[in-house]
Structure 1
Amino acid sequence: MSRAEQPSRRTVLAAAVAVAVAGGAAPAAADAATGADPEDTDPVPARQVDHRSWTTHRDWSGGTARGTRAVAGERPGVVIGTPLGTTEYTDPHTGTKAAWAYATWTSPVHRLAVPATEVIASWNADTPQGTWIQIELKGTYSDGTDTPWYVMGRWAAGDQDIKRTSVDDQGDGRSSVWTDTFAIDDATTGLRLASCRLRLTLYRRPGARTTPTVRRLDVMGSDVPDRFTVPASTPGLARELAVPRYSQEIHKGQYPEYDNGGEAWCSPTSSQMVIEYLGGRLTEEQLAWVDPSYADPQVCHAARYTYDHQYSGCGNWPFNAAYAATFEGIRSVVTRLGSLTDLERLVAVGIPAITSQSFLAEELTGAGYGTAGHLMAVIGFTADGDVIANDPASDSDEEVRRVYKRREWENIWLRTKRYNAAGKVASGTGGVCYLYFPAGPAPGQRRVLTSLGLL
C-alpha cells in the first residue's frame, strides 16, 4: 500500500469518538470545514502524560526477581541468574517449537499521576544470539478491578531465534492492546487505568550461559483530551541539527517481505537518520546481506530489524526505539510530548525527535501527499518558528529536508481527532514521538530530559 492508503492501526482507538458522533455530537458543517470543534474550547488539563523509567541498579534491585539478578556498573540492568525452569515456545510465524530456559523480573506497582486511557511500554536491551525477551503489562482500573497480563511485545535484536512480534486479539471487554498500545475501549465511560506494573521474561537456550540484558524499561500513560485542534504555541529559539537525510521512496520494491518494500518504511528510515546523527554506524559485515546495488543499505537493515511479524510492518513504535538502543552509546524511549515548545527545547540541546502524525494533503502545505500514519524526524526550527523536518516521504535523499508551517504541523501532530479522506472522524496520535539520545547526556540534555520525566 502507498503511504496515503496505509490504514492507521489507531483507527480502532477512535471508538470513543465514534460513540460521540453516533450520539449526535458531530461538529457542525462549518466547523468540519475549518477543523474546529465545539469541544476544543474546553480547558486543557495541565498534565496529560505520566512517564516512569527503570534504569538504575537500585531500580533493578527493586521489584520481584524470580531467577533474575541485577547487575551494577556503568550500564546497570537485569539478567538471568538461575533460571526458574524451561518452557516451550512455538513461534507463530515459523511454526518452530523450541525449549527455552527463563526467568522473570516484575516492576513494583506504578501509580499513574495521570490516570490513563492509553499506555505504551518501551525498552532498551541486549539480546545475544540464542536469547530474547517478552514484555507484559498488568494494570488496575480506576474502579479497583484488574486487567489481565497483556503481552506488549516479544522481542530480539536479531531474527534468527524468534521472529519479533506483537500479539493480536488481547482484551477483556474493557481494554485492548493494539499492536504496541494498551487502550481503554470506551474512554467516554470515565474508566481509566489507575496503576500498572511491567513484567519482563528473559529467555535463553537451556544449558547456555548467555543472557539477555535489559538496561532500560519505560511505561508511558496518557489521557490526552479528544480534540480536532490544539492551542498554538509561541515560537522559541531557532536552530537546525545536522541530521543525515534518507529517503524511503528510493527503496520502493526492495525487500517486499518487510512491509511491501521501501514505500512503507517511514519509521525505520527516520530511525536510521537519527541513529547516525548520534554516531551509530553499521559495519560492512552487518550490511553484507543487502544487495550491493542498493543505495543507503542501512535503511534496508533498519527495516528488517524493526519489522513486526504480526503487524506485518516496520512501524511498531517500541520496536523502533529498541532497535536504536542496540547501537553503542544510544538510549531510546517512546513517549508523548505536549507542545512544540517541548520539541524546541530538545532541539536546542541537540536532540532531534521522530514524530508520528496523520493528515490530508491539504492540511500540510508542501507535503504533496496525505497519510493515515507517517513518521518524520524533526531536526530544527526556523527563525519564524516553522518546523524543519527530515521527511523520508521524499523522492530523493536531497529532497528530504522540508520546512512545514508551524501551525499546520503542530495541529496534525498533537490532535487526537481528525477527518480522513472519506470525511469520517478518525484518530490522531496526540503527540507521540520516539526520542533517541546519548547514553551519557550532556548537562543541558540531562536537564531537558529530566524536565520531561525521561531521566
Structure 2
Amino acid sequence: MARPTSRRTVLSAAIAAAAGAGALSSSSMPAAAAPGGTHSKPGFAGPARRTPAPTVDNRFWTSYADWRFGTAAGTRAVAGSRPGLVLAGPVGRTDYTDPHTGRTTAWEYGTWTSPVHLSRVPATEVIASWNAHTPAGTWLQVELRGNYSDATSTPWFVMGRWAAGDGDIRRTSLDDQTDGKASIWTDTFSIDDASSGLRLNSYQLRLTLYRKPGTKLTPTVRRLGAMASDIPDRFTVPASTPGIVRELPVPRYSQNTHVGQYPEYDNGGEAWCSPTSSQMIIEYWGRKPTPAELSWVNPAFADPQVCHAARFTFDHQYDGCGNWPFNAAYAATYPDMSAVVTRLSSLTDLESLIRAGIPAITSQSFLKEELTGAGYGTSGHLMTVVGFTADGDVIANDPASPSNEAVRRVYKRAEWETIWLRTKRYNATGKVVSGTGGVCYLYWPAAPTAAQRRALAAFGIR
C-alpha cells in the first residue's frame, strides 16, 4: 500500500475548496509528433480547438535578459549556454539558526527580486520551483509576495530554504505562515477561502543566495518561477479522447523494496513514492548518481540511487520526501537538467508530452475501488506516466509495487483522469477532502529537441 507522502492531509474542507485546483488552458494544442514509436489512433485528427479561460499560468525566469531585468543586490547575471544568477559582492551578513539542528551559523548574502508578474490567471494557488547548483558552503531561500484582487498585498512568504546537500543547513519548508487571507501549506501558497472570490492577481519572487563569509563560493540559479492556478471545484472531470499509442523506456523502481531502509527519511521506502518516481525519470534522461555520491548507502541495499533520492529530497519541516519543488530541484542538480512543478488539464495534454518523449510524474489520491488494478488506496501518491495503450489507457510506472518487475501497470483512462484531475473527493469515511487538480513534475534536458521545446512551450514552459 502506498503511504500518503505528497501532501499533508490536515486540510479542512474549506481549504480543500481552494487547494489543489488547476488545469491548463486547453487552447494550447499538443506538439507535433516526435519521430518513431508514436502512433495516432486510427481516424484521430486531434482535439478540436477550444478557447476557454485559462486556468494555469506558468512564468519562469531563465534567460540572461530575465536575470538582468530583475532587481539585484549583491548578485549578478552570468551569460553562457545556461545563463544564471550568482553572488557578486554580498550586501549583508546574517546569523541563521537552523530549526532542525539548533546550530547558529553566520552567512553572507545577496538578493535578486523578479519584476512583478501579472498572472493571466487570478489565482487561488501558487507553487514556486527552481533549478540551482549549491556547492557545499552555500544555500538559497525563495520567497513570494503578491497583490490580491481586493487591492491589498501579501507579506513576503518563504516558499523554501534549500540546498542540494545537507551538511550546511537542513532543507526545509516553513508551515504556519499566514496573513489571514492566504496560507503556506508546505510548498503551496493557497487562498484560505476561495469561495470568497479573493484571488492573487500578481506576484514577484525573491531569491536570497547565501555563502560562508570570506569565501568566493556561490550558488548558481538557472531557473526560478511559479505556476499560478484557479479552476472551479470538481469531483469529476470530462473524459478525453485517446490520441496516441506510445510507451517510453523509463526505468522501473519499486519503493517497497526499500521498506525499513533509512527510516530517518520519512520512515523508509514505504513513503518514498516521490523520490522513487523522480529517480526513474532522471535515469530515463541518462543521469545517475556517481559511485562516490552513493558511497554512504549500505552496499547490501539494491538500487541505492533510490535511497540517495530520498535523502536529498527530504524536507525536514514536512518530515517527508514529498515536497514537490524539492523533488524538481533535486532532479535539476544533475548535469544539464531542467525541472518544474506545474498542472495539466487532461490526458490529452499529457499525451502531447509523451509524444515528444517527455514522461511526467503525476500526483493523485484515491480509494482502492476507484483505480482498478492498483490494489490499494491512498490520500496522496506519485506515479510516473510513461505511455498510452491502443485503448488509450495509461501506462504508469507505479512505485507502490512489490518489486521492480511489477512496477509497470496499465490503468483505465477514465479512472486515472478523474483521480488525477479532480480537486475534491470523498475519503474512506465519506468526508470531503482535497484532490491535487492535475499536479505534475516535468523533467527534461536543458537542450531539448525541437519537438520537446514545442511541447513544453504549449504550456508556457520555456
Q: Does 1:150 align with 2:157?
A: yes
Of 449, 456, 460, 1:449 maps to 456
AA in 1 matched with 2:56: V
Cα distance, 1:10 vs structure 2: 5.4
Q: Post-superposition shift, 1:17?
A: 5.4
- The structure whose RCO (Cα within 8 Å, separation 6+) is larger is 2
d(CA) in 2 for partners of 1:393, 1:248: 6
Contact 1:13 1:183 in 2 (8 A): no
**Count of residue correspondences:** 431
Q: Please tell me the residue identity of whatever aligns with 2:374.
A: A
- Report the Cα distance in structure 1 between the residues aligned to 2:237 and 2:51, rounded to whole angstroms: 9
1:221-370 residue pairs with structure 2 within 5 A? 221-370=228-377
Whether contact under 8 Å (2:7, 2:322) holds in the other structure is: no
CA change 1:17–1:422 in 2 (3 A) is same
Write out per-residue CA displacement over residues 33-53 of structure 1, whole angstroms, 9 at most, x where no aligned residue: xxxxxxxxxx99531100101
Q: CA deviation at 1:4?
A: 4.8
* Matched position secondary structure for 2:244: coil
The CA distance in 1 between the partners of 2:4 and 2:57, in whole Å, is 33
Displacement, 1:227? 0.4
The alignment status of 1:9 with 2:16, answered yes or no, reads no
Q: Is the CA contact (8 Å cut-off) linking 1:10 and 1:428 kept in structure 2? A: no
> Structure 1-normalised TM-score?
0.93
Separation (CA, whole Å) in 1 of partners of 2:427 and 2:190 = 21
Aligned to 1:137, which of 141, 144, 151?
144
Q: Does 1:385 align with 2:392?
A: yes
2:34 match: none
Supply the AA of the counterpart residue of 1:249: N
SS at match of 2:86: strand
Opposite residue 188 of structure 1, the aligned amino acid is S
Q: Which structure 2 residue ranges, 5 or more long, are not aligned?
A: 19-49
Using a 3 Å threshold, how does the CA distance of structure 1 residues 352 and 451 change in structure 2: closer, same or farther? same
Number of the residue aligned with 2:93: 86
Q: Distance in 2 between matches of 1:417 and 1:400?
A: 27
Q: Which amino acid aligns with 1:351?
A: I
Normalized per residue, the structure richer in helix is 1
RMSD (CA atoms)? 1.5
Offset at residue 5 of structure 1 (A): 6.3
Match for residue 380 of structure 2? 373
1:3 Cα offset (Å) = 3.1
Write out per-residue CA displacement over residues 49-89 of structure 1, whole angstroms, 9 at most, x where no aligned residue: 00101000000001110110000011100100010021000
1:145-187 deviation digits (Å, cap 9, x = unpaired): 0001000000000000000000011001110000000000000
C-alpha distance in structure 2 between counterparts of 1:169 and 1:420, whole Å? 25
Output the CA distance in 1 between the equivalents of 2:460 and 2:379. Answer: 29
Distance 1:121 1:435 in 2: 14
| Alignment of structure 1 residues 51-130 onto 2, 5 Å | 51-130=58-137
What is the identity, as a one-letter code, of the residue corresponding to 1:103? G
- Distance in 1 between residues matched to 2:400 and 2:312, nearest whole Å: 20
Flag the 1:7–1:74 CA change in 2: closer, same or farther, 3 A. closer
Give the match's secondary structure for 1:335: strand
TM-aligned CA deviation for residue 410 of structure 1: 0.4
**CA contact 1:55–1:77 (8 Å) conserved in 2:** yes
Cα pair distance change 1:301/1:5, threshold 3 Å: closer
For residues 45 and 419 of structure 1, do their structure 2 counterparts lie closer, same or farther at Cα, with a shift above 3 Å needed? farther
Are 1:213 and 2:220 an aligned pair? yes
- Paired with 1:209 and 1:237, the residues of 2 have a C-alpha distance of 51
Aligned CA distance change for structure 1 residues 401 and 88 (closer, same or farther; 3 Å): same
Tell me, yes or no, if the aligned pair for 1:153 and 1:166 is still in contact at 8 Å: yes
Separation in 1, partners of 2:9, 2:156: 21
The equivalent of 2:419 in structure 1 is: 412
- Displacement of 1:113: 0.3
- The residue matched to 1:12 in structure 2 has which SS? coil
For residues 263 and 80 of structure 1, do their structure 2 counterparts lie closer, same or farther at Cα, with a shift above 3 Å needed? same
Superposed CA offset, 1:407-449 (max 9, x none): 0000000000100011110100000000001110100001111
